[in-house]
C-alpha cells in the first residue's frame, strides 16, 4: 500500500505468502523478543482496532458499533520482508504465543520476488520433493551361506580410501628402485567435509569444524579431511600442524591465495591435497559468490579485497581456454608449488562434458583424481534459476565416469570423488555407500554437516535458506558477531565427532554383509538394486520390484 492509499503492483496479502505467522493474542505478553530476533524483519509491533457489535436486549434498541484498541504483532507482506519459516520467533517466545506455518496454497509470492528488477538469489539447496535416486537404491547382496559373513559390531574394519594417483604395483616398484618420482597418495577417510569457505561460514562455525576434525584424527584415529572452499583460510592454520588435515581449494577468483603462497616457506606440514575448483553442482557454469553482507574487515584482509563489496568469481580460470591448457597450467603449477609432494585434482560440476574432462585427466600423470559435484549440491549464494533448472544428477555422471575408467583399465588408478545432495534427506551413510558402489572412492558433503553439527534450519522445502545474506538466525553463515556468538564452537566440534562416529557405524552395517573389511566396495554395483527400470538400466544395476 502506498502513502496515498493506492495498491502498488508488488503488494501481497498475508494469504499469498509461503510462510504465515500464527500469533496468539491472549498468550502474548508483548515482550518484543520475536521482533528482535527475526532475521528478515518480518514482524513488527502494531496497534489494532477491534470492532464490537453492541446488540440491545429489546426489539426497539439500536445496534451500535463500538471499537477498542490493543497492541500486538503484525506480519509484513513486502516480499523483501517475507517470513522464511526459520521459527526463531517461536524459539525465543517465553509463552509459546507465536509459530510460523507453511502455506502450501500460496502461489503469488513467486511473481513478486524480483522487486527492483533483481532475480532472486538464495543459499541452501534446490526445491525438491520426494526421495531422489540415491534414496531409492537398495543394497541387495547379503552374505549368508554364500560368503563369509562379518559382524559389524565385533569385526575390525579398515574403512579408508586413497586420494592421489595410484600407480600399478609393478610400475610403482620400478620407479622406486630407479629413484624416480612417484605420485603422492594420501590415505584418508572416505567421507570428506566439502568446500565451505572461511567467509561463507562464520568464524565460530569454521573453528568448530576444524576442532572436530582435529579430534577425530588425534584421538579417534579417523583420518577425516576438510576442504577450505574458496577464499583461503586464517594464517595461523596455514602455519600449524593441523594443515595436514586440510584440503586447500583454489577457485577462479583466487581469493586468499596470496596469503597461502606467502605461507608456503613457513608451513610446518604439507596440506592433504589441493582442489582446483572449476565448477560446483548448485550453479554449473558459474563462479562462486560471496555477497557484500559478509565481507567484513577480517574476510577482506584474508582475501586481499576491500570491505563491503561483493566477491564474484569468474565462471572459468581466466588464463585457460581449453581442457589441455587447464590441466597443464593449473595442476602442474600447483604441484610444483609444493615440489610435487601434494596431490592435486580438479573439481567440476556434473554435466554432459564430465567424460571429456576425465579423458584428459587420464593422460596427465600429475592429475590426482577428479571430484564431481552433482545438481543437488548446496551453495552460499546462487540464482534460483541455476539451482532449480541447471545441472546433472551425480549418480549417472559418476557412473559414466567410472565405467569409462573400467574400460581403459584405470579404475584403480584415478580416484573419483562424488558430491551433491549426499544425505539431503538424512540418509548420509546409505547415500555414501550407494555412490561408493557406483564407483566413487570418496564422497563429499557440506549442507548435511551444517544441519547435523550446527542445527541449520534450512530445508528442501525452501525454509530459511538465507545463507547468502549474512543474517543466518543460527549464526552458521553470518559474519555479524551478534549472530555468530549464538554458536558454540565446542558444541559444533562435539556434533561433528558424533556425526562421524554414527556414520562409521552405519557404513559398517552396510558393507559387513558384503564380506568386505579391509577395503571399500568401490564399484561393487552388483550389490545394488532399484525399483525403477529406467534408472536400473541407466546405472547398470539390478531392477527389482
Binding residues for [4Fe-4S] cluster: 83, 86, 89, 93
Which residues, other chains included, contact 233 with Cβ-Cβ below 8 Å and sequence gap of 6+? 198, 246, 248, 256, 260, 302
Local structure of 64: helix, strand or coil: strand
List, in sequence order, every residue forming a beta bridge with 121; answer none if it has no partner.
Answer: 383
DSSP state of 320: -
Cα–Cα distance for residue pair 273/246, rounded to 1 Å: 7
Q: How many C-beta atoms lie closer than 10 Å to residue 298's C-beta? A: 14
- The x, y and z cell numbers of residue 26, run together, are 491472549
List, in sequence order, every residue forming a beta bridge with 19; answer none if it has no partner.
Answer: 102
Local structure of 312: helix, strand or coil: strand
* DSSP state string for 9-54: TT---GGGSSEEEEE-TTT-----HHHHH-TT--EEEEEEEEEEEE
* DSSP state string for 108-138: SGGGTTTGGG---EEEE-----S--HHHH-E
Cα–Cα distance for residue pair 375/284, rounded to 1 Å: 8
How far does CA 91 lie from the centroid of its chain? 25
Helices (H), 287-416: 297-303, 323-326, 332-337, 354-362, 384-389, 394-407
- The x, y and z cell numbers of residue 401, run together, are 565416469
H or E element in which residue 419 lies: strand 416-419
Q: Is 74 exposed, middle or buried (0-12, 13-18, 19+ CB in 10 A)?
A: middle
List, in sequence order, every residue forming a beta bridge with 281; answer none if it has no partner.
Answer: none
Which residues, other chains included, contact 171 with Cβ-Cβ below 8 Å and sequence gap of 6+? none
Cα–Cα distance for residue pair 486/278, rounded to 1 Å: 34
Report the chain's C-alpha Rg in angstroms. 27
Residues 8-41 as b or e (16 or more Cβ within 10 Å = b): eeeebeeebbbbbbebeeeebeeeebbbebbbbe
Which residues, other chains included, contact 376 with Cβ-Cβ below 8 Å and sequence gap of 6+? 125, 126, 128, 132, 281, 391, 393, 394, 420, 421, 424
Q: Which residues are annotated as a binding site?
A: 83, 86, 89, 93
H or E element in which residue 62 lies: none
Amino acid at each position: 500500500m502506498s502513502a496515498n492509499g493506492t495498491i502498488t503492483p508488488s503488494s501481497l496479502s498475508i494469504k499469498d505468502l509461503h510462510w504465515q505467522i500464527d500469533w496468539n493474542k491472549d498468550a502474548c505478553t508483548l515482550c518484543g523478543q520475536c521482533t528482535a530476533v527475526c532475521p528478515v524483519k518480518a514482524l513488527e509491533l502494531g496497534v489494532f482496532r477491534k470492532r464490537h457489535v453492541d446488540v440491545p436486549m429489546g426489539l426497539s434498541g439500536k445496534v451500535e458499533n463500538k471499537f477498542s484498541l490493543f497492541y500486538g504483532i503484525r506480519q509484513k507482506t513486502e516480499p523483501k520482508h517475507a517470513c522464511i519459516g526459520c521459527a526463531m520467533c517461536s524459539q525465543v517466545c517465553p509463552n509459546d504465543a507465536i509459530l510460523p506455518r507453511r502455506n502450501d496454497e500460496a502461489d503469488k509470492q513467486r511473481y513478486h520476488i524480483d522487486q527492483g528488477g533483481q532475480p532472486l538469489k538464495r543459499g541452501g539447496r534446490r526445491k525438491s520433493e520426494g526421495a531422489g535416486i540415491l534414496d531409492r537404491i537398495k543394497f541387495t547382496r547379503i552374505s549368508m551361506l554364500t560368503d563369509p559373513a562379518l559382524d559389524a559390531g565385533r569385526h575390525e574394519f579398515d574403512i579408508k580410501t586413497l586420494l592421489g594417483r595410484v600407480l600399478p604395483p609393478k610400475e610403482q616398484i620400478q620407479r622406486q628402485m630407479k629413484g624416480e618420482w612417484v605420485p603422492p597418495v594420501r590415505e584418508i577417510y572416505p567421507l570428506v567435509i566439502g568446500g565451505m569457505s572461511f567467509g561463507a561460514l562464520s568464524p565460530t562455525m569454521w573453528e568448530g569444524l576444524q576442532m572436530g576434525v582435529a579430534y577425530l584424527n588425534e584421538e579417534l584415529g579417523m583420518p577425516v579431511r576438510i576442504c577450505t572452499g574458496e577464499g583461503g583460510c586464517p594464517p595461523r592454520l596455514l602455519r600449524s600442524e593441523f594443515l595436514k588435515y586440510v584440503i586447500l581449494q583454489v577457485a577462479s577468483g583466487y581469493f586468499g591465495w596470496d596469503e597461502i603462497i606467502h605461507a608456503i616457506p613457513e608451513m610446518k606440514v604439507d596440506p592433504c591435497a589441493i582442489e582446483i575448483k572449476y565448477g560446483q553442482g548448485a550453479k554449473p557454469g558459474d563462479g562462486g559468490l560471496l555477497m557484500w553482507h559478509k565481507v567484513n574487515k577480517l574476510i577482506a584482509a584474508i582475501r586481499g579485497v576491500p570491505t563491503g563489496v561483493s566477491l564474484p568469481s569468474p565462471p572459468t580460470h581466466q588464463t585457460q581456454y581449453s581442457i589441455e591448457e587447464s590441466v597443464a597450467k593449473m595442476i602442474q603449477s600447483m604441484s610444483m608449488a609444493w615440489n610435487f609432494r601434494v596431490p592435486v585434482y580438479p573439481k567440476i560440476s556434473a554435466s554432459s562434458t564430465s567424460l571429456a574432462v576425465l579423458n584428459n585427466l587420464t593422460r596427465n600423470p600429475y592429475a590426482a583424481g577428479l571430484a564431481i559435484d552433482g545438481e543437488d549440491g548446496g551453495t552460499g549464494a546462487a540464482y534460483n534459476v541455476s539451482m532449480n533448472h541447471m545441472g546433472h544428477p551425480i549418480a549417472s555422471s559418476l557412473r559414466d565416469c567410472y565405467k569409462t575408467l573400467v574400460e581403459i583399465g584405470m579404475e584403480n588408478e584415478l580416484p573419483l570423488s562424488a558430491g551433491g545432495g549426499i544425505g539431503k534427506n538424512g540418509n548420509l551413510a546409505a547415500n555414501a555407500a550407494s555412490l561408493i558402489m557406483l564407483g566413487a572412492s570418496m564422497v563429499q558433503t557440506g549442507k548435511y554437516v551444517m544441519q547435523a553439527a550446527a542445527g541449520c534450519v534450512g530445508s528442501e522445502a525452501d525454509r530459511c535458506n538465507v545463507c547468502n545474506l549474512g543474517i543466518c538466525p543460527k549464526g552458521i553463515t553470518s559474519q555479524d558477531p551478534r549472530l555468530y556468538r549464538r554458536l558454540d564452537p565446542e558444541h559444533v566440534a562435539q556434533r561433528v565427532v558424533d556425526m562421524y562416529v554414527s556414520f562409521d557405524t552405519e557404513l559398517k552395517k552396510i558393507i559387513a554383509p558384503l564380506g568386505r573389511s579391509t577395503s571399500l566396495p568401490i564399484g561393487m554395483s552388483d550389490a545394488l538394486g532399484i525399483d525403477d527400470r529406467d534408472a536400473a538400466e541407466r546405472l547398470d544395476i539390478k531392477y527389482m520390484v
